């Protein structure tokens, strides 16, 4: 996968405002707020080309199709205009999420004149804007409802070495110093309710781990739905989570209050409603 070209520090221009080392949170009405974006990956190849799975070396880990990369790049461009800077990205180790994060990060860090591109391939980026790390706790639900048991790796090795996955991310953005919330993958086969509880706990843990940063968490549809269901102060029902749909959580950074879910029905690719 070709990576976006990088700017030198002297060339940095970006609506992401500042480099990671100069990060600031978004002012709220009377105090800074922390924003958490929980986003689903882009369009996966096995849903577009069903026969792909029969010849794939890793049939449990489909990559994105071109439409998925375009969608992820466009969603990254949208996040530039949400009124706050994304400081850090945490991503599931599944390749469709890694590729989604790569496109979104490139869009977040791209020189403004390169935002006319349809993907990151020819974009020039400033890698000082965002840090990214792989987080196992954001992985797909490892159960039959999410993954066909016929394609589960018989040797239990779901992924190559982490260094190979990190190589798919934009050069200069990877932060290898971060200790993962989940040091290992969950075991096959976890119950779906266990996976939902895992998503809740890892979202909370990552927010608490980086309280002075706005985060983009790139995960799977169930993780995005869980962000709405578990953090909404009102009972909620989630019908559908589109590719690259995202939930937006926000809280006071000073007191670390409970999150408020800012996502509205249909606003970011999520079909849902809240019960008053």
pLDDT in tens, the chain (276 residues): 444 444 433 333 334 555 655 566 666 555 689 999 999 999 999 999 989 999 999 999 999 999 999 999 999 999 999 999 999 999 999 999 999 999 999 999 988 877 888 788 888 899 999 999 999 999 999 999 999 999 999 999 999 999 999 999 999 999 999 999 999 999 999 999 999 999 999 999 999 999 999 999 999 999 999 999 999 999 999 999 999 999 999 998 877 778 999 999 999 999 999 998
Contact (Cβ atoms closer than 8 angstroms) between residue 200 and residue 226: yes
The number of domains in the chain is 1
Altogether, the residues listed in the chain come to a count of 276
Token pair recorded at residue 148:
């066909």
- Return the bridge partners of 10, or none: none
Domain encompassing residue 215: 5-274
pTM of the full predicted structure?
Answer: 0.90
Contact (Cβ atoms closer than 8 angstroms) between residue 252 and residue 33: yes
- CATH number of the domain that 204 lies in? 3.40.50.1240
Task: Give the CA dihedral 61, 160, 208, 244, nearest 10 degrees.
Answer: -30
């Amino acid at each position: 996968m070709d990576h976006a070209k990088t700017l030198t520090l002297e060339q940095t221009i970006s609506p992401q405002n500042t480099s990671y080392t100069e990060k600031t949170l978004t002012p709220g009405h009377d105090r800074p707020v922390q924003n958490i974006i929980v986003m689903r990956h882009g369009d996966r190849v096995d849903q577009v080309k069903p026969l792909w799975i029969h010849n794939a070396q890793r049939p449990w880990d489909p990559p994105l199709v071109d439409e998925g990369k375009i969608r992820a790049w466009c969603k990254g461009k949208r996040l530039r205009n949400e009124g706050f800077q994304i400081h850090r990205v945490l991503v599931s180790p599944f390749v469709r999420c890694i590729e989604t994060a790569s496109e979104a990060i490139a869009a977040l860090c791209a020189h403004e004149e390169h935002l006319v591109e349809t993907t990151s391939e020819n974009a020039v980026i400033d890698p000082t804007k965002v840090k990214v790390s792989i987080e196992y706790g954001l992985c797909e639900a490892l159960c039959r409802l999410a993954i066909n048991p016929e394609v589960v790796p018989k040797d239990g090795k779901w992924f190559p070495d982490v260094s190979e996955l990190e190589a798919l991310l934009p050069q200069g953005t990877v932060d290898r110093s971060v200790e993962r919330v989940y040091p290992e993958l969950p075991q096959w086969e976890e119950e779906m309710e266990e996976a939902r509880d895992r998503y809740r706990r890892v979202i909370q843990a990552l927010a608490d781990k980086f309280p002075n940063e706005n985060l983009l968490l790139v995960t799977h549809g169930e993780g995005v739905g869980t962000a709405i269901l578990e953090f909404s102060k009102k009972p909620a029902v989630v019908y559908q989570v589109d590719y690259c749909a995202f939930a937006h959580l926000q809280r006071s950074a000073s007191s670390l209050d409970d999150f408020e879910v800012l996502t509205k029905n249909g606003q970011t690719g999520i079909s849902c409603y809240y019960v008053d």
